[in-house]
Amino acid sequence: MYNPYMVGKQIYLRHPSEEDVEGKWHEWFSDEETTKFLELRFWPNSKESQRDFYNSLHNDRTKLVLSIVLLSNDQHIGVISLSNINWVHRSADIGIVIGEKKYTKGIYTTEAFALILKVAFLRLNLLNVRGGYCKTNQSIEAMLKLFKFKIVGIYENMMSIDGRKEDVVATYLDRESWLKRNIHTE
Amino acid sequence: MKKSDIQVRIKNIISALMEIPVDQIKDDSSPDTIEVWDSLRHINLVMTLEEEFGVQFSDNEIAELINVKLIIAVLMEKL
């Protein structure tokens, strides 16, 4: 385990590393299937672009990007983030990408979500975490429902996916609701 | 509720959601051993268990539900 920031049972989260930049990280953001529901999907990614992004993270306190790493063998399988962190309103947007497709099948996404919410509400002391998803993205819809995100509205025809206009669903989870479900286990 | 009854109910739920015969579901069955047990079905399983048994899992508990044996154990503690 290298530089762990939040440790779970199957995975841990840590700051991205030089090795991540040199690895497959940049390839995930060129892959058509992986980026289908991401705003980043329009342009191919490169190792150089990934390095620029990695370098931009060091002093950026409006964005927390963490590598998702397997505890069993230290493999970097994805990234999870809190972005648009607003320190006045204490809110942020949640995002996740499991780049190594073999691991999209298992419970790694679920555990990564559980860990980043713990980071958001206990370590960063945020009050609200927002989650937005394209209406046809069943996986993220189910994930946000599982973690009790509340739907607050729909942006009609906000995204263009495979030539079709798609609605975007806006959700959020507040700290009080999260604490009620989790405080007894902390 | 007896542990054996809970085991049967859980295995029936998994069988229905994964669309596989109940006799193929063992205590060590997990997403690693059942091909169709993907992340979406896993999430649906957790939400169905919450609904069927009238419980709510914490985030830590959700992360522990990685095979049938652990699902039964975590659920038993909440009932």
pLDDT on residue B44: 93
DSSP 8-state class, residue B20: S
Structural domain A4-185, CATH architecture:
3-Layer(aba) Sandwich (3.40)
- Round to whole Å and give the CA distance between A52 and A27: 15
Spatial neighbors of B15 by CB under 8 A, at least 6 apart, are B21, B22, B24, B25
Instruction: Please give chain B's pLDDT, 79 residues, in tens.
Output: 788 888 999 999 999 999 999 999 999 999 889 988 888 899 999 999 999 999 999 999 998 898 999 999 999 998 8
Q: Is A111's CB within 8 Å of B63's CB? A: yes
Mean pLDDT for all residues in chain A: 92
Residue to mutate among A107, A123, A139, with most B CBs inside 10 A, is A107
Write out the residues of chain A at the interface with chain B, using a CB-CB cutoff of 8 A.
8-10, 104-107, 109-111, 113-115, 117-118, 138-139, 142-143, 145-147, 178, 181-182, 184-185
pLDDT at A162: 82
pTM for this entry: 0.91
CA distance A176 to chain B (A): 14
**DSSP assignments along B22-79, one per residue:** GGG--TT--TTT-TT--HHHHHHHHHHHHHHHT----HHHHHH--SHHHHHHHHHHH-
Residue in the block written with tokens 């509340």: A150
pLDDT beyond 90 at A53: yes
* A33 compared with A121, residue with greater pLDDT: A121
**Residues in chain A within 8 Å Cβ distance of B77:** none
| pLDDT at residue number A40 | 66
Percent of chain A surpassing pLDDT 70: 97
**Residue spans per domain, chain B:** 3-78
* CA B5 to each of CA A10, B10, B42: distance values in angstroms, whole numbers, following the listed order: 29, 9, 22
Residue A106, pLDDT above cutoff 60: yes
Hey, are the CB atoms on A111 and B46 less than 8 Å from each other? no
Closest alpha carbon within chain B to A105? B38
Chain B residues close to A142, C-beta within 8 Å: 40, 43-44, 47
Do B47 and A145 lie within an 8 Å CB cutoff?
A: yes
Is B31 in Cβ contact with A9 (below 8 Å)?
no
**Can you give the pLDDT at residue A39?**
72
Between these two residues, B43 and A36, which has the higher pLDDT value? Answer: B43
> What pLDDT is recorded for position A184?
58
Q: Which of B40, B60, B62 sits opposite A138 (nearest CB)?
A: B40
Work out the minimum CA distance from B64 to partner chain A, whole angstroms. Answer: 8
Give domain B3-78's CATH architecture: Orthogonal Bundle (1.10)
> How far apart are the CA of B59 and the nearest CA of chain A, in angstroms?
5
pLDDT digits (tens, 9 = 90+) for A153-174: 999 999 888 889 999 999 999 9
* Interface confidence (ipTM) of the complex: 0.86
Delimit the domains of chain A by residue range. 4-185
